[in-house]
Amino acid sequence: MTDLVLSETRDRVAILTLNRPDKLNALNYALIDRLLSRLDLIETDNDVRAVILTGAGERAFSAGGDIHEFSLSVAEGTDAALRDFVMRGQRLTARLEAFRKPVIAAVNGLAFGGGCEITEAVPLAVASDRALFAKPEIKLAMPPTFGGTQRLPRLAGRKRALE
């Protein structure tokens, strides 16, 4: 099985790579859990001074939530599935926002939905010329659920966030 989050350390910087390029690094339950575990290890590692978070492949940082996996979990009940997915995503973005070491998102392609919200939760996001940020869930009458409705206006200003 492929590791969902690749991890390496160079010059005291941990590089975490979301590793689902065939799914545009979509956030599924296992990837979020693995990323949280990696962050726990890094936070207590005195040899690591900062973190770079990026996505594998050429096309995406993260396309957001893995809708296919989410739809399969709905069999257990829509409310329970939604609550579990949202709570995981909120736990991740809150963890990134409060992380005691600097986290830089290196955005190398699409940053949609939850992927976009991750970039809002870290202190610095650096975008390549291929980067594209969006919250497509809004067009489906779904709110951003990982905390982006609070973070984006705080970061960009209310009027800019409404664009």
Question: How close are the terminal C-alpha atoms of the chain, in Å?
Answer: 41
Catalytic, 163? Answer no
User: Region 126-134: what's the mean pLDDT?
Assistant: 93
4 in Cβ contact with 30 (< 8 Å): yes
Using DSSP's 3-state secondary structure scheme, residue 46 falls into coil
Long-range pairs of 64-67 with CB within 8 A, sequence gap ≥ 24? 64/26, 64/27, 64/112, 64/113, 64/114, 64/115, 64/116, 64/136, 64/137, 65/26, 65/27, 65/89, 65/113, 65/114, 66/23, 66/26, 66/27, 66/28, 66/31, 67/26
Mean pLDDT of the chain: 86
How confident is the model at residue 65, as a pLDDT? 85
Catalytic, 137? Answer yes
Catalytic site residue from 43, 69, 137, 163: 137
pLDDT grade, residue 58 (50/70/90)?
Answer: very high
**Tokens coding 103:** 């986290």
Tell me how far CA of residue 37 lies from CA of 26, 31, 92, 137, in angstroms.
18, 10, 10, 27
Catalytic site residue from 58, 117, 120, 163: 117
How confident is the model at residue 159, as a pLDDT? 59
Show the domains of the chain with their CATH numbers.
5-161 (3.90.226.10)
Query: In 3-state terms, the chain is what percent helix, strand and coil (to 5)?
Result: 45, 25, 30
97 in Cβ contact with 126 (< 8 Å): no
pLDDT higher at 80 or 6:
6
Q: Tell whether the model's pLDDT for residue 82 goes beyond 80.
A: no
pLDDT grade, residue 134 (50/70/90)?
Answer: confident
